[in-house]
Amino acid sequence: MKKITFLLLLIPFFSNAQNPNYWQQQADYTMSIDMNVDTYQYDGAQKLTYTNNSPDTLHTLFYHLYFNAFQPGSEMDIRLQHIKDPDGRMVTNIGTKEAPIFESRISKLQPDEIGFIKINTLQQDNAAVTFETIGTILKVTLNKPLQPGEKTVLDMTFKGQVPVQIRRSGRNNKEGVALSMTQWYPKIAEYDFEGWHANAYIAREFHGVWGDYDVKITIDKKYTLGGTGYLQNPNEIGHGYETEKLSKRAKRKKYKKIKKLTWHFVAPNVHDFTWAADPKFTHDTMQGENDVTLHFLYKNNLAKEQLENWKKLQTKTAEFLSYYNKNIGRYPYKQYSVIQGGDGGMEYAMCTLITGERNYGSLIGVTAHEFAHTWFQFLLATNEIKHEWMDEGFTSYISDLAMNEVMKQNKENPHEGSYKSYIRLATSGVEEPQSLYADRFHYNAAYGASAYSKGDVFLAQLGYIIGENNLQKTLKKYFEDFKFKHPTPNDFKRTAEKVSGLQLDWYLNEWTQTTHTIDYAIKEINSSVVTLENKGSMPMPIDVKVMYTDGSTEDFYIPLRMLLGQKPTTATIINDWSWVQPSYTFTVSKPVKSVEIDSSQRMADIDRSNNVFEVIVKD
Ligand SMILES: [Zn+2]
């Protein structure tokens, strides 16, 4: 038996590891929280079992204390006062619409409105350790250095205060949801092959350590909770989680003398734990594919039409689950919760918090997007502080396709909006490379267009380069090989190379690490001789459609030499084109009437006006 167990444990770990030197840290949490719903303060105890799988000896550990960002004078506050286009949710316009003057909402928070996490005690293996709070980061100096392969246990007690809702987390959001508890606990920072990722909380999102969570939340019995994990005591809790239904009378009797309930959740193999709570949540459930329970928690005092939207959302969410299972890979957890809360839409482990007072299209579209993040962030956990485009862009790509199918949109190019947004960015003069860290963009708008739109186009355009079939295969292989890990841009590129047999280093470099742009043009047509020109700074393989004077058409494909191969195509394959060569001439069999470069418009050419050329026939 032992041998079998040993093998079973090893197989999933090693068979998927593409790099035999790959390792990742492990952080298992046991937490209990006592929430005071009147003061918005909570007392917490946390036991963190931290395993150092790295080859390095660690002397220091870092935790994130995200709630400290919601204090006047924090880095988040100061950044908000200086960025030219602050997030509208985080500021008040004290000027006019024409001449706005933005005031940071964080700068105005009173002591009982700010967020904080204060560490009371911290021990390593039962001995007190030295720690220091530096803004949103806690620095811990270990008593005993942690050797490669060793485990250590960190016991902590802390006090938290839930901030007035300004961004993502908080109390009493604009729709009156009491508690949006995201990024709410002391969370160990990730340490990987690049070192520590102890980034201050300025605006952007996640990089966390994989682990198992065991969380107990004690809260006023009137509150209904939803979030990450599986409820362990559903019949004690009720609130729509119970498996044994009680009569109203029996329920009254059961809960009469109780003031608070303790909700016990476990969540295996996640890198975050989120929850939300409100005394007025309606809680519906529905079964999705592979016995996944879908939970929907939304305010029972929404307008009638909005309540109907939340009902209609439920079967669509099940359809999105099936779509992502089929087109990326199987959802591995037992539940997913769509919860009204937060300040827009934001993805978390096994759940999303989304504002609920939306029209139907918006509720569905945002849910499709946030749910897709489960695959591109909560299972393929790229560091989105550094590689934001792999998270937002890939999510946008797959949710565009899911919306097109599930909502029967029948769009010829479901990514058209992203292409337009990217081209606007590329011609705006404020574009910065995608490889810039998410918090460091000069403009929020440029960050958004780069991460979401240019990231979406990265994949859609890769379909143009390697072929649609190869792209679909790449996505599935990427998920299989890198789920429950922290893949990097290179891991994705290697997967696409292995599937397609083409060389793609140039694509990753130019698209993600530079602001080079694509602009191909037709220079000249001389009877049956066609000359194309590369006017842009980024090269591409070229699909060309030629219409002859006799009315027939022929498709040609010009491989980019750097690919060292070609995509599967039914077009006539002609000589390759090296990026060093500014122009390219080819001869066809008959006199030409017109030529079009990339009629599918999946190549992100920033000036399409020179992609079509028609021969003017003089009589
Ligand atoms: Zn997103």
Q: Per-residue pLDDT tens for 295-351?
A: 999 999 999 999 999 999 999 999 999 999 999 999 999 999 999 999 999 999 999
| 77: pLDDT strictly greater than 80 | yes
Residue 15 has a pLDDT of 44
| 6: pLDDT strictly greater than 60 | no
Interval between CA 39 and ligand 1 midpoint (Å): 32
Max CA pair span of the chain: 97
Interval between CA 397 and ligand 1 midpoint (Å): 11
Interval between CA 67 and ligand 1 midpoint (Å): 21
Interval between CA 203 and ligand 1 midpoint (Å): 14
Residue 18 has a pLDDT of 65
pLDDT band at 361 (very low <50, low <70, confident <90, very high): very high
| 461: pLDDT strictly greater than 70 | yes
Interval between CA 346 and ligand 1 midpoint (Å): 7
Beginning with the edge strand found earlier in the chain, give each strand of the sheet holding 529-534 in spatial order. 520-526, 529-534, 583-587
| 561: pLDDT strictly greater than 50 | yes
Contacts of 498 (CB under 8 A, 6+ apart): 477
Contacts of 232 (CB under 8 A, 6+ apart): 264, 265, 266
Interval between CA 352 and ligand 1 midpoint (Å): 11
What is the residue-averaged pLDDT of the chain? 95
Q: β-pairing, 41-51 with 542-548?
A: unpaired
| 4: pLDDT strictly greater than 50 | no
Length of the chain: 619
The larger pLDDT score, comparing residue 235 to residue 6, is at 235
Interval between CA 470 and ligand 1 midpoint (Å): 25
Interval between CA 366 and ligand 1 midpoint (Å): 9
Q: For 199-228, how does the pLDDT look when each residue is reduced to its tens digit (9 = 90+)?
A: 999 999 789 999 999 999 999 999 999 999
The pLDDT of 69-76, averaged and rounded, is 98
Interval between CA 116 and ligand 1 midpoint (Å): 26
- What is the C-alpha separation between 17 and 13, in angstroms, rounded? 7
Interval between CA 206 and ligand 1 midpoint (Å): 12
Interval between CA 592 and ligand 1 midpoint (Å): 46
- CB-CB contact of 154 with 122 (8 Å): yes
Beginning with the edge strand found earlier in the chain, give each strand of the sheet holding 275-278 in spatial order. 170-171, 179-181, 275-278, 224-227
- What is the C-alpha separation between 613 and 522, in angstroms, rounded? 6
- Residue 41 identity (one-letter amino acid): Q
Instruction: Check residue 609 and report its DSSP letter.
Output: G
Residue 9 has a pLDDT of 42
Cβ atoms within 10 A of the Cβ of 466, count? 26
- Residue 175 identity (one-letter amino acid): E
Interval between CA 409 and ligand 1 midpoint (Å): 21
Q: For 189-198, how does the pLDDT look when each residue is reduced to its tens digit (9 = 90+)?
A: 999 999 999 9
Interval between CA 369 and ligand 1 midpoint (Å): 6
* Residue ranges near ligand 1 (ion) with Cβ within 5 Å: 392
Interval between CA 84 and ligand 1 midpoint (Å): 22
Q: For 8-49, how does the pLDDT look when each residue is reduced to its tens digit (9 = 90+)?
A: 444 444 444 468 899 999 999 999 999 999 999 999 999 999
% the chain with pLDDT above 70 = 97
Contacts of 19 (CB under 8 A, 6+ apart): none
Interval between CA 418 and ligand 1 midpoint (Å): 13
pLDDT band at 7 (very low <50, low <70, confident <90, very high): very low
Instruction: Check residue 166 and report its DSSP letter.
Output: S
Positive or negative CA dihedral for 563, 567, 571, 572? positive
The pLDDT of 82-89, averaged and rounded, is 95
Residue 8 has a pLDDT of 41
Interval between CA 61 and ligand 1 midpoint (Å): 29
Interval between CA 250 and ligand 1 midpoint (Å): 44
Interval between CA 33 and ligand 1 midpoint (Å): 29
% the chain with pLDDT above 90 = 94
Q: For 142-167, how does the pLDDT look when each residue is reduced to its tens digit (9 = 90+)?
A: 999 999 999 999 999 999 999 999 99
Interval between CA 604 and ligand 1 midpoint (Å): 22
Packing angle, helices 416-426 and 455-466, rounded to 10: 110
pLDDT band at 618 (very low <50, low <70, confident <90, very high): low
Query: What SS3 class is residue 211?
Result: strand
Interval between CA 391 and ligand 1 midpoint (Å): 7
- Two structure tokens written together for 176: 């009156």
- What is the C-alpha separation between 509 and 81, in angstroms, rounded? 34
- What is the C-alpha separation between 358 and 4, in angstroms, rounded? 52
* Residue owning tokens 């205060």: 161
- What is the C-alpha separation between 368 and 371, in angstroms, rounded? 5
The pLDDT of 518-535, averaged and rounded, is 97
Nearest to 433 by CA among 411, 451, 409: 451
Interval between CA 373 and ligand 1 midpoint (Å): 6
Beginning with the edge strand found earlier in the chain, give each strand of the sheet holding 260-270 in spatial order. 127-128, 116-124, 151-161, 41-51, 26-36, 211-220, 260-270, 230-231
- What is the C-alpha separation between 331 and 371, in angstroms, rounded? 11
The pLDDT of 484-507, averaged and rounded, is 98
pLDDT band at 353 (very low <50, low <70, confident <90, very high): very high
- What is the C-alpha separation between 352 and 363, in angstroms, rounded? 12
Q: Taking the model in full, what pTM does it have?
A: 0.95
Residue 248 has a pLDDT of 86
Interval between CA 285 and ligand 1 midpoint (Å): 24
* SS3 of the chain: helix, strand, coil, percent, to 5: 30, 30, 40
Q: For 260-291, how does the pLDDT look when each residue is reduced to its tens digit (9 = 90+)?
A: 999 999 999 999 999 999 999 999 999 999 99
- Two structure tokens written together for 509: 């470099």
| 246: pLDDT strictly greater than 90 | no
